[in-house]
Amino acid sequence: MLVTLYAGLTNGAFDITVKDVISTLLRIHPKPDYDLVIFEFRLPRIVIAALVGTGLGIAGAVIQGITRNGLADPGILGINAGAGTAIVLFLFFYQGKIKGTGLGAIMAMPLFGLVGGLAAALLIYAFSWKNGRLEPQRLLLTGIAIASGMGAISLFLTLKMNAKDFEMVAVWTSGSIYNANWKYILSIVPWLALLLPVIMRKTYILDLFQLDEDSLRSVGVASEKEKAVLLLAGIGIVSACVSVSGGIGFIGLMAPHIAKRLVGGAHRRVVPVCGVIGALMVMVSDYIGRMLFAPAELPVGIVIAIIGVPYFIFLLYRSRMRG
């Protein structure tokens, strides 16, 4: 992460030496040009990438723990799409004002995302519930269907926008943080500060969820209540992330698998490591997308999808072979 931070701050259309970066950050003989590049363009983007990656990685660990499904992911299950659709609906009513939206509107976007993510989660739960329990395979299939439906609604809304706003929303929905700024950081930090401690305090519950329902009841766990609390926390984090970065998928799928290979299956270790891995993945992917085709940019969501799709296919193949 430190290497990525160094590369992200020093490299770009306007290269800056490490000495100048340190001088600017420490306010030693600051120069307006360096201030503009570092504080308005590069540093907010790196911070947003780290926060979004942390949130999505941890949310993925929570959702996989709740569903007992290693293929579950906020993007694959349609939670990203639900949050994204609600936010696109919000932006639809701000046509012509998206770039100039004030802090109040930016802070409201995660709330719209939460409503959309909850709606998607409720639909998925309703269609995946069978014989008094959640069917993992039905959950996966239902999530893919909900994500497709929500994606179609988002596309319909964006087609009704004017050309300028359509282009911006199209880039945003593909997963991009090119428009990162300190207002976006201010909108996501309170959600992470509120919900991450809730998840960390309940990591032992995620361990217990790996048992069957009868065993859960025998140790006195109110499974449905705990699932609701953890799911709500996960959806809140995803919604806040989607509101500032769009639909970045596969982080929540890959980070838990990598974390478990590094530190084992105990969620008190898996959850924070997922956050670090997710942050690193988004930071590196954003740097690649920014530098690979410079001066043009590739959205971070596309870079991650290029890695994530083969990984998802590999996991499907491995689960089939085990089955």
SS (HEC) of 148-206: HHHHHHHHHHHHCCCHHHHHHHHHHHCCCCCCCCHHHHHHHHHHHHHHHHHHHHCHHHH
Predicted confidence pLDDT, tens digits, the chain (323 residues) = 999 999 999 988 788 888 888 888 888 888 888 888 899 889 999 999 999 999 999 999 999 998 888 878 888 778 888 888 888 888 787 755 544 445 566 667 777 877 888 888 888 878 877 766 666 677 778 888 888 888 888 888 888 887 777 777 777 777 888 778 888 898 899 999 999 999 999 999 888 888 777 777 777 777 778 888 898 899 889 888 888 888 888 899 899 999 998 998 899 999 999 999 999 999 999 999 888 877 778 888 889 988 888 887 887 777 666 65
In the prediction, which pLDDT does 100 show? Answer: 45
Nearest-angstrom CA–CA distance, 75 and 144: 9
In the prediction, which pLDDT does 109 show? Answer: 72
Nearest-angstrom CA–CA distance, 277 and 274: 5
Give the chain's domains with CATH numbers.
2-322 (1.10.3470.10)
Give yes or no for a contact between 237 and 198, defined as CB atoms under 8 angstroms apart.
Answer: no
CA distances to 231, 244, 245 from 300, in Å = 26, 13, 9
In the prediction, which pLDDT does 48 show? Answer: 94
Range 110-113 contact pairs with CB under 8 angstroms and sequence separation of 24 or more: 110/187, 110/188, 110/191, 110/236, 110/239, 110/240, 110/243, 112/86, 112/87, 112/243, 113/83, 113/84, 113/86, 113/87, 113/238, 113/239, 113/240, 113/242, 113/243
Q: 0.85 exceeded by the pTM?
A: yes
Give yes or no for a contact between 249 and 301, defined as CB atoms under 8 angstroms apart.
Answer: yes
